[in-house]
Structure 1
Amino acid sequence: MQVLLTTALLAVLGAVLLINGLGAAGFAAQNTPATDCVTDPDACGTYTLGMMEWMWSVGEIVGWLPLLAPAMIGAFWGAPLLSREFEHGTHQLTWTQSVTRRRWLVTKVGGLGAAVTLGGLVLGGIVNAWLAAFDSPAFPVNFFGNPNWFRLVGIVPAAWWLSAFVLGVATGALFRRTLPAMAVTLAVCALAFFGLLRAPSFYATPERAVQATVMDDPAPDDSLYVNSYWIDGDGVKYTSQERELALAGSCGTDETTKKYAKCAFSHGYRQVAEFHPASRFWQFQWTEAGILLIPALALGGVAVRRTLRPRI
């Protein structure tokens, strides 16, 4: 039942995103600015607003999937798998037949684990294709910098789904009651999601771009933004507030103007942006997959070992 329901939900999601993506592609074909945004800002603004409306008509729902999908997989796929057998006492009959405990576990956990992994990869492919329909020079989609999109494309959805499934199996084996196992699985999935929400910024040492003249944001549009601050000529770090106080007398307080920025640069201040380039996307995908799967598989191994050891 869980497999059929998940397959149906993925099919419905794919159909909804396909219709939305085709609508966005049709809008883009008719409204893409003929020139750059500097030459024709009105056309660019209309195009951007229209694409945002198309994206967020379903994007707000899709944005919840990084949290909800793994939690549901863990609670409804993983947690009942063993806890239901213990709770109903059916393991006393099932595991005393010709099919051994080990074979039963390998078949059930291995087969469903493979199905869960495949489902996560399918979700990543569906969302990636949907986002690609919006990605254009006039409306770039940052697959890396947006934490929701990062966890809905590539291999990360499969890692989240599989780790949640293994977590559910482990809690079911440890608690041997379905409802407590489901509750603990949901709670741990929520803690993991919010705990790792901004974690990719720390997966590697960020690159630094120093801005010494009046120019645009030195961090590329497709990068993962980490931090920005100011330094003086001696390399001492300043917050925006500290730099504003230091320059209030000579440069004024309207830091949104190029005149203010030019004045700040003329006094020896430099703006520093820290970011991760888009080339680190797959490195961070595998890093997060490892962070999720290594502890989940270790806990799952302990639970399976406990299950294989009959109680006396």
Structure 2
Amino acid sequence: MLWLTWRQHRMQLLVTVALLAVLGALLLVNGLGAAGFDARNPPPADCASDYRAACAGYTAGMMEWMWAVGDVVGWLPLLAPAMIGAFWGAPLLAREFEHGTDQLTWTQSVTRRRWLIAKVGGLGAAVTLGGLALGAIVGAWLAVFDSSAFPVNFFNTNWFRLVGIGPAAWWLSAFVLGVAAGALIRRTLPAMAVTLAVCALAFFGLLSAPRLYATPERFVQTTAAGSDLVPDTAMVVESYWTDRNGMKRTSDDRQLALAVPCGIDETTKAYAACSFDHGYRQVQLFHPASRFWRFQWMEAGILLLPAFALGGVAVRRTLRPRI
């Protein structure tokens, strides 16, 4: 069965491996370029505590290198699972039913159960390994940029589902969803369309969901000192101001109230100091970087549990011969 699985699905396997290799080569070239820029333009040692013009130049240079390929990489959390579900999962059973080959294949010495274990299990393992490989490739690329002068926020929506176990969870859940759609609909193109639609709904539905995975920590800034700020690697859930009475205020409310004593230029430290002197406090609700793996496993559970439940229903229906 393993040889048969390879023979029937080698094109999907080879194309996926080739695309991962191309992506790895692209990120390797980009990462080497960013490392070269870092070596030629070392940032000042105190960038983390004192943001100066030299730090701004370093940050702009690193951002230019990152986003030279970042826009392409940023589409992968949506496109990669959708393609896996549509082209790996959906045709697996739907094609057998649609072409009637199930009547021949499952009446031979290989039972339906063994066929499903070999096909779904083998391809599911390959999909999981591919997702882990993607996470390792993107993680290694981002590590080139990550430094005290240019910290990478792995909670960023561009990266959160591209590193760690995130890609593997999304790929595997999309694959199982595709298999279930094929088993229930029994037509290849409709199953592919349903899989693509559900993958898109899941992606946009969970886009901001990590903010809700735990109760955020609360930080109240009382001075204009930069060291009081929430770390750049944290996930900021909400940021707002409170007045001297503790009432919640927007930046526009604060600017209107302080237009006379503090002026209107919010970008200066003098304005910030004046705001705090008049009793205003900046409140930030955030998740620290230490929650990254906890959130990754939580999202994996959110994706995989419904997918496996639906997959179980589809497999049970497939194992039950039609009369």
Deviation of 1:56 after TM superposition, in Å, equals 1.5
Per-residue deviation at 1:115? 0.6
| Equivalent position amino acid for 1:118 in 2 | L
The 3 A distance-change label for structure 1 pair 39 and 90 is closer
Aligned residue for 2:247?
A: 236
Q: What is aligned with 1:44? A: 55
2:85·2:195 contact (CA, 8 Å) conserved in 1?
A: yes
For residue 96 of structure 1, what is the aligned residue in structure 2?
107
Corresponding residue of 1:193: 203
Q: Is 1:176 aligned to residue 186 of structure 2?
A: yes
Quote the Cα distance in structure 2 between the aligned partners of 1:306 and 1:40. Answer: 62
How far residue 32 of structure 1 moved from its aligned partner, in angstroms, is 1.1
Structure 1 residues without counterparts, runs of 5 or longer:
none
* 1-structure distance, mates of 2:65, 2:260: 47
Secondary structure of 1:225's counterpart equals strand
Aligned to 2:217: 207
8 Å CA contact 2:166, 2:296 repeated in 1: yes
Alignment partner of 1:114 is 2:93: no
Which SS does the other structure have where 1:172 is aligned? helix
Q: What SS does the aligned partner of 2:162 have?
A: coil
- Per the TM alignment, residue 31 of structure 1 is displaced from its structure 2 partner at its CA by 1.1
Q: Distance in 2 between matches of 1:39 and 1:75?
A: 49
1:11-30 map, 5 Å = 11-30=21-40
- Decide whether the 8 Å contact of 2:44 with 2:55 is kept in 1: no
Tell me which amino acid in the other structure corresponds to 2:180: A
Number of the residue aligned with 2:231: 220
SS of match in other structure, 2:239: strand
Deviation of 1:185 after TM superposition, in Å, equals 0.5
1:148-167 equivalent positions in 2, closer than 5 A: 148-167=158-177
CA offset digits 1:268-288 (Å, max 9, x no partner): 221101110001000100011
Partner Cα distance (2:225, 2:293) in 1: 30
CA distance in 2, matches of 1:35, 1:3: 46
- Encode CA deviations 1:168-227: one digit per residue, 9 max, x unaligned: 000001110000000111111111111111111111111111011112262111111111
Residues 1:264 and 2:275 aligned together: yes
- The aligned residue for residue 127 of structure 1 is 138
**Alpha-carbon separation, structure 2, partners of 1:159 and 1:125:** 14
Alpha-carbon distance, 1:33 to partner:
2.4
Please tell me the residue identity of whatever aligns with 1:177: R
Between the two proteins, what is the percent identity of the paired residues?
Answer: 77
Q: 1:303 aligns with which of 306, 314, 320?
A: 314
Aligned length: 311
Q: What is the CA–CA distance in structure 2 between the aligned matches of 1:237 and 1:51, rounded to whole Å?
A: 36
Residues 41, 261 of structure 1: CA spacing in aligned structure 2 closer, same or farther, 3 A cutoff?
A: closer
Q: Normalising by structure 2, report the TM-score.
A: 0.92
State the partner residue of 2:17: 7
Deviation of 1:264 after TM superposition, in Å, equals 2.4
Structure 1 range deviating more: 109-118 or 264-273: 264-273
Taking only aligned residues, the RMSD between alpha carbons, in angstroms, comes to: 1.7
Cα contact 1:124–1:152 (8 A) shared by 2: yes
Q: How many Å separate the matches in 1 of 2:88 and 2:42? A: 44
One-letter code aligned to 1:265:
F
Find the aligned partners of 1:133 and 1:236 in 2 and give their Cα distance.
Answer: 43
* Aligned amino acid, residue 268 of structure 1: G
- Are 2:224 and 2:269, in contact at CA under 8 Å, matched by a contact in 1? yes
Q: Report the Cα distance in structure 1 between the residues aligned to 2:22 and 2:100, rounded to whole angstroms.
A: 37
Amino acid at match of 1:232: D
Change (3 A) 1:177 1:40: closer
Q: Indicate which of 256, 267, 272 corresponds to 1:245.
A: 256
Amino acid at match of 1:303: A
Aligned to 1:137: 148
Contact 1:142 1:223 in 2 (8 A): yes
Q: Give the unaligned 5+ runs of structure 2.
A: 1-10
Over 3 Å counting, the alpha-carbon distance change for 1:45 and 1:256 in structure 2 is: closer
Distance apart, 1:91 and its partner CA: 0.1
TM-superposed deviation, 1:58: 1.4
1:230-276 CA-partner distances (Å, limit 9, x unpaired): 12334322222333333334433333333332232223221101110
SS at match of 1:274: strand
For 1:269 and 1:40, the matched residues in 2 are separated by 24
